[in-house]
Amino acid sequence: MEKIGISKQIILFIGVCVITSCASSADQKQLDKEMVLQTLKRFDDAVIARDEAALNAITATNLSYGHSSGKIQDQAEFVDDVVNGSFQFISITNDDQSVNISENVAIVRHILSADATNAGQPAKVHIGIIMVFQLDENDKMVLLARQAYRLPN
């Protein structure tokens, strides 16, 4: 059997690494607009239903959730507020929506209009939203960040 020199072993090793790396990349899930919009719909449905398990599953553990008032919540605060707070969404509509995808991150912008109740009293919501979704290490899309902003009158 022929001996392989050190330099040939290094080249062989690098070649195997490149091939393995390419195979791993091919297995990684790719984001597309439809996947992002389906995730947003599941998020909105979970907020309306006050579904704690779904909200925990669809948000990142290091979530940064910003309200139009300037209040910022982490995942635990956000989920607790939706599930147990006095404000409850009844319906949510997202208009003027755009989705921009860069590798495993999706940025969604839209105008959110909603019917809700606040401490039992009817409330209307009309705000701008930017959301950042990311594929996590398990190829599951989660909400990483959200910021709402007031719209001009």
Residue pLDDT tens, the chain, 153 long:
455 565 555 554 555 555 544 444 445 578 899 999 999 999 999 999 999 999 999 999 999 999 999 999 999 999 999 999 999 999 999 999 999 999 999 999 999 999 999 999 999 999 999 999 999 888 899 999 999 999 987
Q: What is the pLDDT of residue 6?
A: 57
- Strand 87-102 and strand 105-118: the pairing is antiparallel
Q: Where are the alpha helices (DSSP H) in the chain?
A: 6-27, 33-49, 52-58, 75-84
Q: Is residue 25 part of a domain?
A: no
Tokens encoding 17: 């690494």
Q: Is residue 80 part of a domain?
A: yes
Q: Is residue 140 part of a domain?
A: yes
Q: What is the CATH number of the domain that holds 124?
A: 3.10.450.50
**From the CB of residue 51, how many other CB atoms can be counted at a distance below 10 Å?**
17
Q: Are 25 and 103 a contacting pair, CB within 8 Å?
A: no
Domain with 86, as residue range(s), is 33-150
Q: What is the pLDDT of residue 20?
A: 45
Half-sphere exposure of 103 (CA within 13 A, CB side): 2
* Cα distance between residue 67 and residue 48, in whole Å: 17
Q: Is residue 1 part of a domain?
A: no
Q: Are 79 and 55 a contacting pair, CB within 8 Å?
A: yes
Q: Is residue 22 part of a domain?
A: no
Q: Is residue 24 part of a domain?
A: no
- Total of domains in the chain: 1
Residue showing tokens 């195979």: 23
Q: Is residue 82 part of a domain?
A: yes
Q: Is residue 60 part of a domain?
A: yes
